[in-house]
Amino acid sequence: MARDGGSRLTAVCFLASYIWLSCSLQRHSLIDQPRLSSFLLLFISGAAAFGASLFSKWLPGADGRFDSEAALKGMQSSIPHRPRRFYVPCIILLIVFRLEIVHTVVQDFQCSVEGIEAFLPVLLAAHEFFSHRTPPVVSDEPEDMWGDPLEDFKEWLISSPITLLFSTVLFSYGVFMLGDLTPRSTYFCSTLMNKSSYTVLMQCLGVLIDAIILVMLWRVLSWARTTRSRLRTLGGILILASIGVSALWLETRISRHREIIGHHPFKGIGSLYLFDVFSTGLLVSTLIISTVLWACDSTMLEPTAIATFTSGMMGSIQNVLLIGTYLQPTFGPPLTVLSVISAGFIMFTYANNMRWIVVFKRVFLMGLLISIIFASGIVALVKHKLVERHPVDDLVYRNRVEADRWLRHASISTTLKLAVAEYKDRHNGRDPPPNFDKWFEYARKQNSVVIDRFDQIEKDLLPFWGMTPQQIHNGFERLKGLPDIGIITIANGKASRNRPTDGDQETVLESLLWLITPFAEHLPDMSVAINMNERPRILVPWDDIHRLTMAGSQSRFQLLPNRLRTRREDVTISVESNPMDTPKATYVSAKKFRQLEALACPPGSAARGGVQWDVRDFCASCVKPHSKGQFLEDWEMFLDPCHQPDIFNLHDFHTTPHLGDLHQDLLPLFSRSKTDSFSDIIMPMHDIWAFLETEWTSFDKKKDIVVWQESIREVGVVTPQSLVGGQRNRLAHLVNNASAADEVSMLLGVQSDGKTKFQYEKTPTQGANGPLPFECGFTNADHPTNTLLKAQPCEDANCQLVHQEFGFKELRKVLDHRYVLLVDGADGGPHHFLPALRSNSVPVLSSIFREWYTERLLPWVHFVPIDPRYHALHSTMAYFIGLKNRGTINGRSQITTARLEDARWIADEGRKWANKAIRKEDMAVYMFRLLLEWGRVINEDRDNLGFKLPE
C-alpha cells in the first residue's frame, strides 16, 4: 500500500525511539525499583497518549478509517474481527502480569537465554496465518484476469501466508542465533539457588503474552473510529494498567516496612532516578504511540518485525566489527547470522507486501543489505589474522621499561636542596611542610628509594585544602563519637592512643604507635581518627569532591566558606537520623550502596548512569579502557570503577551490605585501603607478620600449580547476588564447577610459516580447565596461610551454602606453589599479598582496592594482574605455564610452550622490589610524610607555613 508522509514519520519515530531505548536499556536505575518504575512509565505513557489525542488532527490517519467510504472498501479485508467486550480488561491484566514476568526474569537474569524475544514476530505471523487475514495485494494496475499462470503462481508463492510464516521464522531464528555469539560474563546460574528452566519458561511465557496483548490491542484500537478515540482508548488502558502495577508496588512497600535501618536520607539518589524515569518515559510513550498508529494502518506484525530486524542487524554488524578479537574469534558464525537475517527479512517484505520499509524503498533496502554483507566479508577477511606476538610478552617487556622510568621519577632528589625544589615543582610552587628536612634525613637514613613520589598522599589530601581547618576539625569531632574509630593523638612530640573496647583494635593502634614513635618528636600536635573497620567509610559525591579539589588546588585564598557552611546543615540531618543508641545496627543495603558509589563518579561516566542490570552478558566496553585485547594493561585505570559499571555486580564489596556507617561528607578519616570511589585517607596499617623475614623455597623448587584458597571463615555474609556474582565464588565456579555450556576465549598457539603465532578460540571452560593446573577453592580452616589451625564445623547458613555450592578443598601451604592467585575479600584486598610478593612465587593479583603501596607496584613486573571478570585467566596462565604436553584443547594437542623465564623474572622482581620499597621502614617513611602534610592542612596558618631552606 502506498505510504503517505505522515505514516512514514510515525515509522521513523517508532524506529528512533526503539533504537534509543534498546541502547540505553543496559544501565538504568529504573531496574532497582521495578514496580515503581513500571507504574511511572505506564502512567507517563498513558498521559502522553491522552496528550497526543488532543493533537490528533496532525497525526497520520486523522480522519479515521471509517470516515471515508472508499478507505473502508479498500482495506476491508485487513480490518480484524470486531473485538469482544472482555478484551480491554484482559489487556490490562495481561500488561500487569507481563511486567511481573519481566521482574522475575530480571532477578535471575544470568539464567535467561538471550534472544527468545526474537520469536515474537513468529507468533504474530502464526496468528495471521491461522486467521488468514494477510493484507491483499494492492497493485497499481487494474487486475488482469487472464494473466500468465506462471506469474500467478509466483504471485501466490510470494504473498502466501506460508511464505510469510517461513520468512518470519527465518529472520527471527537468525536474531535468536545472535545470542549464541554474545560472550557471557562469569556471573553464573547456580544449580542450587536459581532455577534456570523456570526462568526460560517465564521468558517464553512472556513472549506469548506479548503476542496476545499486541493482537488484542490491535483489534480494539483498529475498531476505534478516529485517531482521537484510538489514542484515548490507549491512554485509558495504560493508565488503568499503571494503577494495577501501583497496587502491587504498594503491597511490597508495606511488606518491606520492617527494613527501616539502612534507609538514611542519602543525597543525590532521587534526582538520578527521576531523570531516568522522565527520559525513559518520554521514549516509551513515543514508542507506544507510534507503534499503535503504525499498526492500525497495517498490522502489529509489521512494526514488530522491523524492530526485531533492526536489533538483529545492529547486533550482527557489531559482531562483524569484532571479528578477530577475543570477543568474536571466528568469522563464520557472525557472517552466517547476518546473511540469514537479511535473507529472511527480504523475503518477509515480499510476503508481507511492504514496498516501503520505514524510509527505504524495498529495492534500496535490498541493495543496502547486499552491500553490508559484501562489506562484512571484506572486513572479516582483513581482520581475521593471526597474532604475531603474544600480548603478554609485549606487556612484560614494555612494563620493564616503565618500571625503570617510575623509579627514576620517584627518586630524583639526592640532596635536601634538590628535594625541596622538586617538591615545589610538583606542587604548584607550594613549599614543603615544616620539618621537611627532618623527614628527608629520616628517609635517607632508612634507605628509602622513593623520595619524590607520593601521589596517593597528594590525591588524598588535596580536597582538604578546599576546606577550612575549622571545618576539618568539626569533621574530626563528628568522627570521634562513632563506633570503630581509633584515635591517635600527638602532643609535645609524644604519640598516644585512646582505649578501644576491642582487643584486636588495640593491637592495630599499638602497632601504629610503634611506627610513629621514632619520629613523633618532629610532628606538630594533632589528633587523627582511624577507621578500625576494614571497609572505607567516606563516600563523597563526585560534585562535592570535585569542587573541594578545585578549591584546594587553586589559589589558597579562593575558598568557598559560605557554600560549604550551608552544606554543613544537610550533613547534620543525615547524622541525626542515625539512631545513636544502636550505632552497631546501622547498615547500608547493597543496592543503596551501589547507588551511592555511582554518585561518586563524574557525570557522563558510564557508572554514573546507574548500575548495570544485565549480569548475564560480558560487558566489553567496561574492560576496553584498561585492557589490551583480552589482557589487563593499565592497572591505574582499572582501579577506577567509573568506566566499568558491571563491576558493581561482580564483587562482594558491592554486592553485600555495607555494615556500619557511611558518610557522604568529606570527613578526615584514615583507612587502610579503599577503592577509588572513596575519599578516606590511606594510612599504612599492617600486621607486623606481613614483614616476617623467612627463607623461602626458590621458585624452581615450588610446585607448578596455580593456587588460591579462601577460608570459609573469611567469607562473611552471603547474599543471593554475592553467591553467584562475588569474585571468590565466581572463581571457584569457573575453575571447579563450570557447566558444559560455559565458554572462555583462549589465546592459543598455532604453527604458521615455521613460527608460533597466536589466535583466539572459543573453548568450553571445562576443556580449558583441563590442561591448566588450578587448585582453587574454599577450605574449612581458619586461615589459609596458617596450617596449624584445625578445621571447624561448618554450621551457620552462609557456610553451609558455600559448602553445598562449591565444596571444600584440602588445606594447602599456599606459598609452596609457583603461582599464587590473590583475590579480594568482601571488605578489602587480599591479606597475604605482601608475604606472597616476597616469597619467590608469582603473585597473580586480582584486586579492586588500593593500599599505601599500590602506586609503587607495576603490573607484569612485580605481579601478574588478572581482571576480576576472569575472562583472561586461562589465556594468562597458559602463557606462563604452557600448554604443550598437557593434553588437548578443542580437540588439538597444543604447542604453546611455557614462559617459565618470565614467571621466574616476575617472582624475582617482585621480591626484590618488596625488599627495597615496601619494607616496614618504607611504611614509616610514608607515615611520617603523611602526618607532616596532614599537620599542615589542619593548621589555621597553613598558607604561610612551609619549610624554607636556610639561605
Nearer to ligand NAG, 192 or 585 (CB): 192
Judged by CB under 6 A, the chain residues 236 through 275 that form the site for ligand NAG are none
Min CB(730)–ligand NAG separation in Å: 13
Min CB(718)–ligand NAG separation in Å: 14
Min CB(346)–ligand NAG separation in Å: 46
> Nearest residue to ligand NAG, using CB?
807
Min CB(821)–ligand NAG separation in Å: 16
Nearer to ligand NAG, 668 or 726 (CB): 726
Closest CA to 845 of 641, 703, 635: 635
Q: What one-character DSSP code corresponds to residue 774? A: E
User: Which residues 6+ apart lie within 8 Å of 703 measured at CB?
Assistant: 816, 817, 818
Nearer to ligand NAG, 192 or 382 (CB): 192
- Interface pattern 668-707 for ligand NAG (x via CB under 6 A): ----------------------------------------
Please give the backbone phi and psi of residue 490, each rounded to the nearest 5 degrees, phi first.
Answer: -115, 120
What's the per-residue H, E or C state across 117-175?
HHHHHHHHHHHHHHHCCCCCCCCCCCCCCCCCHHHHHHHHHHHCHHHHHHHHHHHHHHH
Min CB(873)–ligand NAG separation in Å: 17
CA angle 428, 431, 436 (to 5 degrees): 135
Min CB(774)–ligand NAG separation in Å: 11
Judged by CB under 6 A, the chain residues 172 through 191 that form the site for ligand NAG are 191
Q: Tell me the Cα Rg of the chain.
A: 32
Min CB(739)–ligand NAG separation in Å: 9
Q: How far apart are CA 293 and CA 880, in angstroms?
A: 61
Q: How far apart are CA 351 and CA 3, in angstroms?
A: 17
Nearer to ligand NAG, 26 or 766 (CB): 766
Q: Interface with ligand NAG by CB under 6 A: which range of 44-52, 435-443, 715-723, 801-809?
A: 801-809
Distances (CA, A) of 162 to 22, 295, 299, 762: 31, 21, 17, 37
Q: Interface with ligand NAG by CB under 6 A: which range of 425-433, 713-721, 802-810, 922-930?
A: 802-810
C-alpha cell of residue 517: 614513635
Q: How far apart are CA 391 and CA 395, in angstroms?
A: 6
Min CB(192)–ligand NAG separation in Å: 6
Q: How far apart are CA 811 and CA 814, in angstroms?
A: 9
Residue 551 class from Cβ within 10 Å (0-12 exposed, 13-18 middle, 19+ buried)?
A: buried
Among 137, 157, 162, 192, binds ligand NAG (CB under 6 A): 192
739 sits near ligand NAG (criterion: CB under 6 A): no
709 sits near ligand NAG (criterion: CB under 6 A): no
736 sits near ligand NAG (criterion: CB under 6 A): yes
- Interface pattern 395-434 for ligand NAG (x via CB under 6 A): ----------------------------------------
807 sits near ligand NAG (criterion: CB under 6 A): yes
742 sits near ligand NAG (criterion: CB under 6 A): no
Q: What one-character DSSP code corresponds to residue 680? A: P
Nearer to ligand NAG, 436 or 806 (CB): 806
Q: Interface with ligand NAG by CB under 6 A: which range of 325-333, 417-425, 586-594, 804-812?
A: 804-812
Nearer to ligand NAG, 613 or 708 (CB): 708
602 sits near ligand NAG (criterion: CB under 6 A): no
Query: Amino acid letter at 455?
Result: D
User: Which residues 6+ apart lie within 8 Å of 675 measured at CB?
Assistant: 536, 639, 641, 653, 848, 849, 850
Give DSSP secondary structure letters for 571-584: HHHHHHTS-TTSGG
Three-state secondary structure call for residue 577: coil
Nearer to ligand NAG, 560 or 791 (CB): 791
What is the spatial order of strands in the sheet that 494-497 belongs to?
Answer: 494-497, 485-491, 526-531, 669-671, 681-682
On whether the CB atoms of residues 633 and 656 are closer than 8 A, the answer is no
Distances (CA, A) of 822 to 658, 746, 831: 22, 21, 9
496 sits near ligand NAG (criterion: CB under 6 A): no
Sequence-ordered strand ranges (E) for 326-454: 356-357, 360-361
Nearer to ligand NAG, 193 or 416 (CB): 193
Task: Tell how strand 864-865 and strand 842-846 pair up.
Answer: parallel
Among 737, 759, 847, 896, binds ligand NAG (CB under 6 A): 737
Min CB(813)–ligand NAG separation in Å: 20
775 sits near ligand NAG (criterion: CB under 6 A): no
Nearer to ligand NAG, 192 or 949 (CB): 192
806 sits near ligand NAG (criterion: CB under 6 A): yes
**Bridge partners of 745?**
762
Kindly state the greatest CA–CA separation across the chain. 113
Size of the site for ligand NAG (CB under 6 A): 7
Q: Interface with ligand NAG by CB under 6 A: which range of 63-71, 423-431, 805-813, 868-876?
A: 805-813
Which residues make up the interface to ligand NAG (CB under 6 A)?
191-192, 736-737, 805-807
